[in-house]
Structure 1
């Protein structure tokens, strides 16, 4: 600062503020040196009298420099009070608001793919700094979907603040159609073998084009077979038969692996959702075909089951069952508390593959202010099930 005041260089206020901000963020000086420079640049009230007599030019500093020097410091209390990163709270707040608005207006399948960020002190400090800013947004959320979009927007804001690379391509919400690596390798072998079989058959039939001859020589390289020997036709036939047998073995391997994978997935589905397994066995899963469902039909169907009173003729066994169940103590209502949410989140791996929302467990662990809201929303959904009309409308929308 003293060198700038003594020299006659023309320095703009914004340029000077940018220089100060760069020094703060690049960690060139330690905390003690920064505090000494700040006291020299902006004297305190106790030193005003001495500063006016000794160096009056030091008092007059641009407003932007004062704001840049007094940039708020985010302190990581769990890391022995060490400074994690000096960040501007207003810039962070505006980035957070923009990310939340962007996430709310983006369909679920078009959300960007969040990267796995490093578990560093600076990144943890940014997450902790955004925690109190989420309270207002979370209190205004009405359901789990809106809360999830807020958390995803906060995670996106953290990635932008720390300059992490975020993929702009949308994520596929359906089942992955990628071919496994082992199957690609086997299919490549089959394709090469079929091409070689075709070249060998062409050469056996009398095609002597240079490309065909070169391929046949490469196929018999390292052997004692010569293209000019009398029994070359027999050698070609043996090589063709050998390649055909290899293709048949590789094809059986693909079918065996596919059947094994299908059985494994069906066993898992039988343990988790038997109805879905039986439906997949009865008819293939076809999505995006056929006319859209009519909302009036499911509403009328479920209203006929649940809204109309029906008198049933009960048998004598119902009285026996009622008398046996009279002494059973009713189960207490299930109340999900923030402690339950915290316990479930702590046990989850940080970077396990996320669900359809694309939000990893790391962000749920970091944004602790969301635990109370998640517990309240989950408990509310347990106590107040949706109405028939609302459930039917949601079913129609999900099918469309």
Structure 2
């Protein structure tokens, strides 16, 4: 089992600690009983695992080697001092297990196990699948007010029928007297008709007051939802402000969506690699010699600094937040990334496996053509490409390779805005 590498170093270390919790080691039969105590390590010399460390090792052995798609989803969490303290404790435990890491996949598994451990410690429920979105139903208080408004309108209709009919029916007259009695008005009153007009006006004012209440509650709920949406998804929040919301219930059939995008993604395109412009660019690039890239721990930190904590992860399911907080892995990541530059084959294929989401471009969500795909790649791959992009841009800016007029593919540029402004000025 050891020769076939059935267990990782962390698993073997955990098994060893569980087998000899008090420092007892097996002795050979030919050793005398008097020699055994001198050869055994002292109890205090044996490393003791804390409950948190044992939980981390358990989660690691539970999920290590499992395909990322089959792992439970790490939920998005709200920051707090308790959470930060727990993350720091797990970060220190991860540092103790880093010397046994031999592959970059094991780093990903360890970070995933650390994130799951923090969630379990904070009492967050871990689910194996994403819960389906529930249909929004009006709250009980809103239902009560709406029912009250409905009944008042019904009474107003009866009173209007009584007032606008010369000979109202016995049923309308009986119901009118019942409504009047609720306001302590007797039917034999000489000014009964005038009293009914006053009751009708009072009921209208009551409807207006109840409608204002519902409006105030709706505005309050809307503010609360907007605050939550701004915290979770800023892009969707601003799209809603621009009234670009769409009806997600009218989504196209799965077969239609698959058939349309298969014609785009499923067909292999043949490109002319010997094009004249490509040869010109290759000849021109020979004039600029790029220095050898040295990836350091600071590069990892800078690449993570620009990322959003809780942006949608790829198939690995690990958000940027966990890579930011588990700082003890940054040095090891830098070493693995440096080795990957020399031998790219050491990176597993799952690192470039993406999850594509279809976002509607218009309110017409039935047509598959009206969607735009967004592919989320694994976070660790985005860290690597972010580090390489930074080094490439240093080389490009140092040698002024890009023309000043080019705004596309340039960092900290707003090419679309500049083109729109230019077009507006020209056509004005």
Which bracket does the TM-score occupy, shorter chain normalised? 0.3 to 0.5
TM score, norm. by length of structure 1: 0.44
